Chain A
Amino acid sequence: MGRWGRALDATMREHGEAIFAHARALAGDDESATALVEDALVDTFSRGHVPESPAAGSRAMMQTMRRAAVRATAPPVPPPPPDGRTDASSLAREALTALPRHERALVVLRYGEGLAVEAIAEETGLKERDVREGLSRAVALLLSAYPGIGVTVEDALEGGMLETASVEEAW
């Protein structure tokens, strides 16, 4: 299988859990997350350049997944029936589950990874204007689903980190 095959195996052996965790957060359901991981694996390890280390492989996959997730056009998977729980975390998760894929991925990058608009744009290859519009729509949808979720458009657009370097460690 050669060097790329060893690199693929080592990357998944060392970072597989974190990669699936990130994919599941970005995509919102098991099937989409699985497809996201598989596509990113093929994309990352079929190129001429093979990542230099498992960490580099993981970083390349994470970015590929983010770029794919913010470009997903499929509607969200219908959420399961409410489980009757009314705590803030459960309500927030229901609201997140109802977001379209594009908006969901932006919210995960903004609130799961704490990235600022500029960093999200750089990481995903989107224009800053599109990131702002997507986050604004996402906040409106989250607030309509759960008014007490505690997000504002101002915070979504103005907060967050400008650097992406330390993000992978969080997963």
Chain B
Amino acid sequence: MSAALERAVAADADAGRSLAHARQDEVQARARSAAARKRRRRAALLGGGAGAGLVAVALALGAAGAGSADPDDAAASPSPSPSVSSTPLAQGVGTIFAEELIASAKPRVRGLPVKGQAAVLCPAGLAPGTTTACTAVTVGESPLLVEDSTISSTDRFVADGHARVNAAILYSIAGSRPLAVSDVLSPGVVVSDPDAEGDGWFGGDRATSLWDGYITRIVVMPEEAWGGSLEPTAYLSSILSLDATAPDPGEPRDPVWAVANGGAGAEGTVVTSWVEVDSLSADPDATLLLEVSSPVRVDLPGLTADDVAASFTERSRDDADREGATRALMCDVDDAWRREVDELGWTVRSGCAAGWVDGTYIGANVNSEWITDGGAGWDVRNASGADLLMNSLTVMVERDAASLEPSESDTLGDGYGVAFATNAWTGPTTRSGAIATYGYPRGFAWEPMSAWWTELTDAQLAEIGDRGAVTAQMAMPFLGDDTRMLVLELPLPLEEDAGG
């Protein structure tokens, strides 16, 4: 032990306390902005991963359905050959445009390691969504795009012969120079055997391999460059939500079905996406796309309404709590409802069948630690032990829970919840359910133990009084059945010491 060394460390710590007085405010302000940006992007990824859907891909290669790449097409629209540059990117200044990268391009060959950034050179002028054959190249001497694997995620759900895979992938700009790309990568293609010779099977958003020979890649053209650029460390994201059904005997292996079912069948699978690099020229000879492939990280499968609703039994308004069971609503939905949700973002569906489902899926506890101006707050958490495929989590206030008088719903406060003058019961065994989609009607994954925080103001609590109730309602979609929604209900404790 060295007393001198301990004193030296303590002296530096003292210098840090002085530093706090000088810089804490500015650091805190910058960090808040950066964290807010990151959270917004993450929220968009989580939600968008389920709901954004895919750009319709026009299959230019082969027949409808499972198309096959035709080498003659590639030969008919040859991409420019890469040339060799003697100027390293790192020595340049300003924004990196396509011309500079193309000048540094080297051929990329199937089976050989990639040195630099993977890219493709494609014929100019193709519309977004077009499938085409492009020349595989590498540009620069190191990757220009680096995945943030702490945020990228893959969720999978399987139920009754149907499956859904949601992937949210995040890359950031590496290096020290701005890059002339947009912040949206193409939705991506799920590729089960990325280094193999292509077998000719291409499903638009899924394939065995994207290689067509040794130096040609099958590519789905991304959105056109937007004319701007991204600074170093800025993020680009790719989101996709893919459905699959159990393949019949003799059908081609479906990489999405394999990922959804996990195990050895999903090993080695990647999601490949592209982003166009803008050109200085208004009429470039070729389009340069940067290519990224993110390994699919398969976690445990999540639960959907199909799983949870299997034990649904009727509930009446007089039912007492049931140990080990969760209150639920089964709501019919139709195209008119979907149009309403598209327009408003959320609805209150009345006349849903009230019921019980076996098991505990959500929990809640009072958490008012961050509330400094009165009111109450709750953490509502996913207590199922698995991802839950959900549409929304809404707080519902019933100001007179025992009343037999029905009442219309009203928006609560600034719109994050629903309030009833009496309660949500519409009959002895029917209730209203609040269903929002946050713009993503296909739902998104709620991670195990992660919590949503909700709060009510003092005035709202006063309206509840001792006759009211507060309930969290979580809406869940079914796979392969878009005529129903399941809503789980959880009464929120109004006392500080009431756990959930």
Contacts and interface: CB of A to CB of B under 8 A. Distances in A.
Interface of A: 1-10, 12, 16-17, 19-25, 28, 30, 33-34, 37-38, 41-42, 45-46, 48-50, 52-53, 88-89, 91-93, 95-96, 107-108, 111-112, 142, 148-151, 155, 159, 171
A35 to B, nearest CB: 9
A140 to B, nearest CB: 14
A8 B28 contact: yes
A163 to B, nearest CB: 18
Given A20-B16, A21-B14, A112 B369 contact: no
B12 A25 contact: yes
A20 B3 CA distance: 23
Contacts of A21: 13-14, 16-17, 20
Contacts of A38: 27, 30-31, 34
21 contacts: A2-B453, A5-B32, A6-B370, A8-B31, A9-B28, A16-B24, A21-B20, A22-B13, A25-B9, A34-B27, A38-B27, A45-B35, A46-B42, A48-B447, A49-B450, A88-B7, A89-B4, A89-B7, A93-B8, A111-B5, A150-B3
Interface in B1-48: 1-17, 19-21, 23-24, 27-28, 30-32, 34-36, 38-39, 42
B4 A92 contact: yes
Given A4-B35, A28-B12, A20 B20 contact: yes
Contact of B4 (A22, A25, A91): A91
B12 A96 contact: yes
Interface residues on B, range: 35 or more
B139 to A, nearest CB: 26
A8 B12 contact: no
Contacts, number: 145
Nearest to A23: B16
B8 A12 contact: no
Contact of B31 (A3, A41, A50, A142): A41
A150 B27 contact: no
Nearest to A3: B453
Nearest to A41: B31
A34 to B, nearest CB: 6
B11 A151 contact: no
A52 B379 CA distance: 10
Contacts of A12: 24, 28
A165 to B, nearest CB: 20
Contact of A16 (B11, B20, B39, B377): B20
Interface of B: 1-17, 19-21, 23-24, 27-28, 30-32, 34-36, 38-39, 42, 367, 369-370, 372, 377, 447, 449-451, 453
A37 B11 CA distance: 18
Contacts of A2: 453
Contacts of B36: 1, 5
Nearest to B11: A93
Nearest to A146: B4
A4 B39 contact: yes
Task: Please classify the interface of chain B as helix (H, G, I), strand (E, B), loop, or mixed, using the class held by over half of its residues.
Answer: helix
Closest 3 CB pairs of A and B: A24-B16, A41-B31, A20-B20
B220 to A, nearest CB: 30
B450 A149 contact: no
A25 B36 CA distance: 28
Contacts of A96: 5, 8-9, 12
Contacts of B377: 3
Contacts of B9: 25, 96, 107-108, 111-112
Contacts of B3: 88, 150
Contacts of A48: 42, 447, 450
A2 B416 CA distance: 13
Contacts of A8: 28, 31-32, 35
Contact of A42 (B6, B11, B14, B35): B35
A112 B32 CA distance: 30
A13 to B, nearest CB: 9
B150 to A, nearest CB: 8
Contacts of A159: 1
Contacts of A28: 12
A20 B31 contact: no
A149 B27 contact: no
A22 B20 CA distance: 11
Contacts of A24: 12-13, 15-16, 19
A46 B9 CA distance: 30
B231 to A, nearest CB: 16
Contacts of B30: 38
A107 B5 contact: yes
A46 B4 contact: no
B362 to A, nearest CB: 16
Contacts of A52: 367, 369
B39 A46 contact: yes
Contact of B38 (A10, A42, A107, A149): A42
Contacts of A142: 5
Contacts of B367: 52
Most buried by A among B4, B14, B30: B4
A37 B25 CA distance: 12
Nearest to B455: A3
Contacts of B32: 1, 5, 8, 45
A33 B12 CA distance: 11
